[in-house]
Each structure stands twice: as structure tokens, then as C-alpha cells.
Amino acid sequence: MSDSDQQRRRGRPVGLPSQKRKHEDELSNNPHTKRSRTRMDNMLPNDKRVEMAKNALRKQKMRKLKNLRDSEAYKQTSPAVQKSMEVQLENSIDQEYMANGKHPDKIAEQLGHQISDRPIIENNEDGWEDIPENLLGEYDILMLQAQTAAANGETLEMEEPEVSPTGNGNAIQEFLAATEASYTKAAYLDVLTKVIKSLSTLWQKISLFCRLILLD
């Protein structure tokens, strides 16, 4: 066995840069590190790319600032001058990263989207895709809850909506009150929108309830 083979065996396993270098058992158990690692794993690909750029920029600034603060020129100046030196250093690093296209703001601009730190739902069963939780509608969330309860052998408890013979009582009352009080057109449309949403929500709950009965 050659010396290079022995060094390779003693070092980290060979793999692509994107592959994990450490075994799962070797990862830190620090709660803050674990939470950060989970947050990164749950990010969308573009969000993760920008987040990695943020971390790289932050670490570079920390290294450069440490070297600056350890220098004799820094120690021999006043606090005001020291603060100015730190600001100039950070600005120069930002400019360098922007020029090289490695700055997180530059990468986000190239990707052309707003960066989101929202968690995604990781449930590939039953045809669900990994999508941001804030993009799910109320009906989708109820369906997820129903599927989870059914998988665990539980019964999904739903609140019974307060309805009148013509639909949602509260919404209808608001609609009539708006009409009798001669509300403005904007207020009329706003209340009408609430009525439509309430009826839509009621229909979704009835439909879900019927599905749950059929599943039983």
C-alpha cells in the first residue's frame, strides 16, 4: 500500500464536496448546533444556498476581525478609531464578496426570489410534496391532520361550525348589518368576501367529514 493510500485511509472519506464529511455519530450534540442543522436540512435548495453564503461571509468577517484586533496597530488606537477600522474592514469584505459574486445578497438577487426561513413539510407519502407550510390552505392542513390521525389509529376531533339554515350565522348577520346600515361599496364587498369564505370553509369541512365517514 502506498503512502498516499495510507494517508487517504487515515483522513476523511473521499467524496463529492456536497457529501457529508462526518458520520452521523460524529455530529455535535450541542442543542444550538442541532437546531441549526435541522433548520438547514429543512430549507429549500435556493434558501440553503443563500444561508451557506451568509455563514461563509460571517465566518470570514470573524476571522478578519480577530486578526485585526490582535494587531498592534489596532491595540494602540482609541476606541473610536478601532470602531472605524472594524467598519472599514467589514465593508471591504462585503465589497470583495459582491465583486466575486459570493455575497449572499448577490446570490439571492441572481436567484430572483425572496429568501424564506419557513420550515417545509417533509411528507412524501400519499402524494404530498415538500412545500412551504404557509402555502397550504386550511383544507389541505385538515386533510394532513386527518391522514396523520388515521395512520395512528386516532379520530380527528373537529369543531362543529355555528351555522344557520342559510349558512354561517355570524357571516350572514354581518352581511345583513352592512346592507341595512348602507355601508360603502368597499365595506359591502369586504363583508361579501367574508360570507363567501365562510361558506367555502363550511363546505370544505362538510366534504372532509363525509370523507372521514367513508374511510371508517
Q: How far apart are the first and last CA of the chain?
A: 65
Provide the residue-wise pLDDT of the chain in tens; the chain has 216 residues. 455 554 444 444 444 444 545 655 566 667 666 776 777 777 777 888 888 888 899 999 999 999 999 999 999 999 999 999 999 999 999 999 999 989 998 888 888 755 444 444 444 444 444 444 444 555 555 556 665 665 566 655 555 444 444 444 455 555 555 555 444 555 556 666 777 777 777 777 777 777 777 765
| Structure confidence at residue 202 (pLDDT) | 78
| Structure confidence at residue 167 (pLDDT) | 46
User: What is the separation of C-alpha 129 from the centre of its chain, rounded to a whole number of angstroms?
Assistant: 15
Q: Which residue has the cell 441572481?
A: 110
Q: Give the number of other CB atoms < 10 A from CB of residue 13.
A: 11
**CB within 8 Å of 105: residues ≥ 6 apart:** 98
Q: What is the dihedral of CA 17, 122, 26, 50, to 10 degrees?
A: 40
Burial category of 4 from C-beta neighbours within 10 Å (exposed 0-12, middle 13-18, buried 19 and up): exposed
> Which of 116, 143, 111, 147 has its CA nearest to residue 132?
116
Tell me the chain's radius of gyration from C-alpha atoms.
Answer: 28
> DSSP letters of 93-136?
HHHHHHHTT-SHHHHHHHHTS------B----GGG----BGGG-
| Structure confidence at residue 72 (pLDDT) | 92
Q: List the domain boundaries for the chain.
A: 27-111, 136-215
